[in-house]
Amino acid sequence: MKQSKTAPCKRLSVLVVSPDRYFRGLLVEILSAYGYSGIWAAESLRVMFDCLGQAGVDLIILDDNIPVLSSAEICRMVRLSQTPMKVPRSVLVASRATRSLVDEARSAGFDALITKPVVPARLVKAMEHLSHAGAIH
């Protein structure tokens, strides 16, 4: 697919965070196929925070399988590490969306939750919804 210069969602700077190299690559491929070009990838929390410090990240796609911390703790850390006007929107990708995970993700500040296997159109639709909601510039 061609990248649209007029669609604001295609200009987003997206950070994909997953310790799984295959899954990280799959998400990057999906985003690229849909015309996204500002894509960063991080395999660890250290790399994620390095990217957040170096680039104006609009959206984080976070795999729920990050070792050491829960996804809710990571989301809270991201929110605390950024100025209020620079807090990126966040999408959690989980193997299962249990009621407790949904509640925890919502209270932590995630903007969307999608489940594996990732359906490309569903991921892009969630990103476009967040973009058009006015919070991503």
CATH of the domain at 94: 3.40.50.2300
88 located within any domain: yes
- What is the pLDDT, as a whole number, of residue 134? 53
For 3, 42, 90, the CA distances from 93, given in Å and listed in that order, are 24, 15, 10
- What is the pLDDT, as a whole number, of residue 8? 42
**pLDDT by position in tens, the chain (length 137):** 333 333 445 678 999 999 999 999 999 999 999 988 899 999 999 999 999 988 789 999 999 999 889 999 999 999 998 877 788 999 999 999 899 999 999 999 999 999 999 999 999 999 888 877 654 43
- The count of structural domains within the chain is 1
- What is the pLDDT, as a whole number, of residue 95? 93
Nearest-10 crossing angle of helices 21-33, 120-132? 70
Give the residue numbers spanning the domain of 44: 8-132
